[in-house]
A and B are shown apart, each in its own frame.
Chain A
Amino acid sequence: DVKVTQSSRYLVKRTGEKVFLECVQDMDHENMFWYRQDPGLGLRLIYFSYDVKMKEKGDIPEGYSVSREKKERFSLILESASTNQTSMYLCASSPPDRAYTEAFFGQGTRLTVV
Chain B
Amino acid sequence: GENVEQHPSTLSVQEGDSAVIKCTYSDSASNYFPWYKQELGKGPQLIIDIRSNVGEKKDQRIAVTLNKTAKHFSLHITETQPEDSAVYFCAASSSGGSYIPTFGRGTSLIVHP
* Interface size, chain B (Cβ < 8 Å): 24
Binds A, one of B12-20, B60-68, B73-81, B103-111: B103-111
Contact with A along B94-113 (1 / 0, CB 8 A): 01000111011110000000
Known: A42-B103, A43-B103. A101 touches B42 (CB 8 A): no
* Interface size, chain A (Cβ < 8 Å): 23
Residues of B within 8 A of A4 (CB): 43
A56 CB → nearest B CB, Å: 9
Asked if A74 is at the interface (CB within 8 A of a chain B CB), the reply is: no
Q: Which 6 A-B pairs have the closest CB atoms?
A: A105-B43, A99-B95, A42-B105, A98-B99, A43-B103, A100-B32
Interface residues of B (CB under 8 A from A): 6, 9, 31-32, 34, 36, 41-46, 49, 51, 89, 93, 95, 99-101, 103-106
